[in-house]
Structure 1
Amino acid sequence: MTYELRDHTADVAVEATAETPSALFAAVADGLTAASAESVPATGGERFELTVTAESREALLFDYLDRLIYERDVRLVLPADHRCTVAEPDDGNGEDDPAEPGEWRLAASARGVPLGAVAAREIKAVTYSEMALERRGDEWYAYVVFDV
């Protein structure tokens, strides 16, 4: 999986590719981390977990990134070293499934690096502006713009 930061008018964009949707979501989140700080300590900070559900794959990516920004603000940490598992909607027959039928689900974790340990720039929000999330040949592609 790879990501690159792209200049975008007064904002910043992350362009990423990966072999699976799970790896793609993690790559975009890693791009969000890179857009937030030029360097992140390799150690330190506690891992935290989160789950997100949404009605579409694009909404799931948006809600996941929005949640990471929220966690940054509430926990006063920079989420880093992202791990994600994306699950497609099921038919609603799973008795132990907490998601509604037709919902995309994400289970993720990140290492919360204390903001005092990094020179962080504020990313205000994720946007739907120009968002792309699609399969291209044998890999997945995403393009996401963040408001700075």
Structure 2
Amino acid sequence: MSEDTERTGRNATAEADDGADDSRWFELREHTADVAVAAAADSLAGVFAAVAEGLTAAMCDSIPTTGDRFEILARSESPEAALFDYLDDCIYERDVRGVLPVDHRATVRRDGEEWVVEATARGVPLADVTARDVKAVTYSEMELTEADDGWRAYVVFDV
């Protein structure tokens, strides 16, 4: 992406914490040598899925319809750590399975002292796409906040 380029994506339906439809969006933002995703959604689960969609957009401009759904499970001590671990698992799946995770769906819940992310994504074989490398998710400037109209997140990825 050029320095003045921003890409925005919208997905009108995302699985929310309670299984209901959830409005969500993301926007790619330049960040020094990295890329950042700003996202918002009606629910915590929706904002997790929106950030993951932003991660996908940072890696690929055009997404084919190929690929099968797979599951991701992350357990962490806080919502921010759960978001980090979920996104890290998406990158891990790309590296290990050789697929680009797309069409993200997530549920997020508290289970005792842990936060649990149960998610699915469609894994598009990397052979079917021209993908850019995103090396890692970072805690640098990470924000996850609840607002009057839902949830907001900001995540920086190392490219």
1:36 is aligned to 2:69: no
Distance in structure 1 (CA, Å) of the matches to 2:66 and 2:127: 12
1:9-88 → structure 2 map (5 Å cutoff) = 9-41=32-64, 43-88=65-110
Distance in structure 2 (CA, Å) of the matches to 1:76 and 1:26: 20
Cα drift, residue 137 of structure 1: 1.5
Q: Where do 5+ consecutive residues of structure 2 fail to align?
A: 1-23
TM value normalised by structure 1: 0.90
Percent of aligned pairs with the same residue? 62
Higher relative contact order (CA 8 A, sep 6+): 1
The aligned residue for residue 145 of structure 2 is 134
Cα drift, residue 22 of structure 1: 0.6
Cα drift, residue 5 of structure 1: 0.1
The aligned residue for residue 129 of structure 2 is 118
Q: Where do 5+ consecutive residues of structure 1 fail to align?
A: 90-100
TM value normalised by structure 2: 0.84
Alpha carbon RMSD of aligned pairs, Å? 0.6
Superposed structure 1 runs of 4+ greater than 6 Å apart: none
| Secondary structure of the corresponding residue to residue 116 of structure 1 | helix
